Amino acid sequence: MTETETIAAAIDQFDEKKKKLKNAFDDLQAHRSLLSPSFDLSWSEIDSHFSSLQSSLLNRFRRLQSAATCPESERIKASAADTTEAPLLWPELRTYCEKMDGKGLGKYMIDNSKKRLSINQELPEAIRCSANPAALVMDAIEGSYHCSPSSSSSSSARTFDGTRIFVLLLEALIEINANLTNDLRERARTLAFDWKSKIGNKPSEALGFLHLVAVFELGSVFKIEELVDYIFLISKHKQATTICKKLGLDKTRIASLIQKFLHTGRLLVAIRFINEFEMTDRFKPVSILKTSLKNSREAAKRVCAEGNYSVKAQNEAIDKELSALRAVIKVVKEKSLESDFIQERLEECVQELEKQKAQRRRDTKLASSANPQQPQQKLDKKRPRVANGVTTDYNLTVQPLSQLQPLLPNPSHGLQVNPYGLVNSIRPGVTVPYGNSLSLYGSVPAPALASQPVYYEQQQAANGGYGLPPQYNPPYYPH
């Protein structure tokens, strides 16, 4: 199969893959109660984004096919016309930019804020078509910043949509070597002080404010400590590191930020900053990832305890661990840490947790159909009790004494019955997904959550470590 045929086959699968994505999105929506309140992405927005990509890929592929059969002279002409051949899904964007109608651009984007993902694909190129990108963006923000919400949307929703649109505009501008006149910087300065007064503890407002400060080079106007505090507030956003670089924060400030992330449990954020600013000589990503996994297990145990070990609480605990494991897998892949982590074991743990959750869902449905008169809300609270009175999850496995597993898992044995191969010590051989109120580590107390940093090279323990004795290491990374 030639390269052209391979590309054609991949494009033909686009609709099928989009259908699978839709099914996955529907499954995600079914668990909406577990998502962040700020998660408001709609399928129409995702569909619009991928339709835009599909259209763009098809056009490029057709040009590639025609170029393969054209003489060299015609190929040069075709390549010169590339920028005009691709159809625009949002031609109004370019019209507003070419006319330098910033107020119209801002209003248009806010009115279409639900489709901002698709619009953002064309926004950077559209802004480049303007005579003065910086002035255009400033006009757009100023023209919409104090506008009243429309009757079809609440004040808070409109304000939030407006802030996100302002961020998109400033993001597009941050990549351009814009001409910043004194007049523009003064207008931005006035707007920044007003914006700063609205931040409070709202990350979305802090994100917009920091973009404005970074784009219009206003770092010297504000106290550096204030800016660093706002960066901490928006640290989960991928733009945080770009803003730090644009503001010119030195290594000392970045190191202080990383330490704050570590002490407040934002371990994966810390790893992103460590790698972006090349500070692996001072902070150890592998140690931080291991601490993150340990903390996620402790958090899962607390969720179960606080939820009285109901099915809902156990599902929530599994979701937390799945999220942590997937985040670690992503970092392991991106940063090539396979030599320090056994990626296959991490992925097996994800599969095992997903199986447990699916099995629990099936058990709940069976219990519901077997007791049609029983209110659904009581099902989560009904759990059998073992002989000694300790409450456990109904989905437990009792093994014969001859088949008892060791209390602490041997990595060479692979996965055990539950994700971490841990055995409940209150009844030998009884394994439960998250156990009962006893420690996840059986009769041995679990190591305390790291209140002191365990991620610095100079503080590594003599036993190998990263602040964790070898016997506590779960089976997905080597001792």
Each domain of the chain, given as residue ranges in start order, spans: 180-282, 288-384+453-472
pLDDT of residue 367: 78
- pTM listed for this prediction: 0.59
Count the neighbouring beta carbons within 10 Å of the beta carbon of residue 263: 13
For position 356, what pLDDT does the model report? 86
Burial class (CB in 10 A: 0-12, 13-18, 19+), 13: exposed
Identify the bridge partners of residue 27 per DSSP, sorted by sequence position: none
Instruction: Give the residue from 306, 330, 328, 325 showing the smallest Cα distance to 316.
Output: 306
Q: Look at residue 95 in the predicted model and tell me its pLDDT.
A: 93
pLDDT at 99: 94
Give CA–CA dist 238/335, Å, rounded. 16
φ, ψ dihedrals at 376, nearest 5°: -60, -35
pLDDT at 19: 79
- How much is the pLDDT for 218? 95
Q: What are phi and psi of 430, to 5 degrees?
A: -95, 120
Question: What is the pLDDT at residue 431?
Answer: 38
Q: Are 104 and 75 in contact (CB under 8 A)?
A: no
Report which of 89, 23, 24 is spatially closest to residue 53, judged by C-alpha positions.
89
Backbone angles phi, psi at 216, to 5 degrees: -100, 15
In tens digits, the chain (479 residues) has pLDDT values of 677 777 777 777 777 787 788 888 878 877 766 666 556 667 766 766 676 676 667 667 666 766 665 555 544 554 554 444 456 778 899 999 999 999 999 999 988 888 877 888 889 889 999 999 999 999 999 988 876 444 344 444 445 567 889 999 999 998 887 888 999 999 999 999 999 999 999 999 999 999 999 999 999 999 999 999 999 999 999 999 999 999 999 999 999 999 999 999 899 999 999 999 999 999 999 899 989 889 888 999 999 999 998 888 888 899 988 888 988 898 888 888 877 777 788 888 889 988 888 888 888 778 777 766 555 454 444 444 444 443 334 332 323 323 333 333 343 333 333 343 333 333 333 334 444 333 333 333 333 434 443 333 333 333 333 333 333 344 444 33
